Amino acid sequence: MLPIMKNCFRSVLIFSLFLMIPIMPVHGQETSSVPSKPALYDFGLGRCPSCKEMERILTAIRNRYGSQLEIRLLYADKEKELFEKYKIVAVPTQVFLDASGKEVDRHIGPLPESSLIKKLNDLNFISN
What distance in Å separates the CA atoms of residue 36 and residue 24, rounded to the nearest whole number?
A: 27
Using pLDDT thresholds of 50, 70 and 90, give the confidence band for residue 36: confident
Q: Which domain holds residue 63?
A: 35-128
pLDDT band at 2 (very low <50, low <70, confident <90, very high): low
Domain with 81 in it: what CATH number? 3.40.30.10
Question: Given this model, what pLDDT does residue 46 score?
Answer: 85
Q: What is the pTM of this model?
A: 0.73
The SS3 assignment for 108 reads strand
Query: Which residue from 45, 73, 47, 65 is spatially nearest to 123, judged by alpha carbons?
Result: 65
How many domains does the structure of the chain reveal? 1
11: in domain: no
**Domain assignment present for 13:** no
Residue 66 — very low, low, confident or very high, per pLDDT cuts 50/70/90?
very high
Count the neighbouring beta carbons within 10 Å of the beta carbon of residue 36: 9
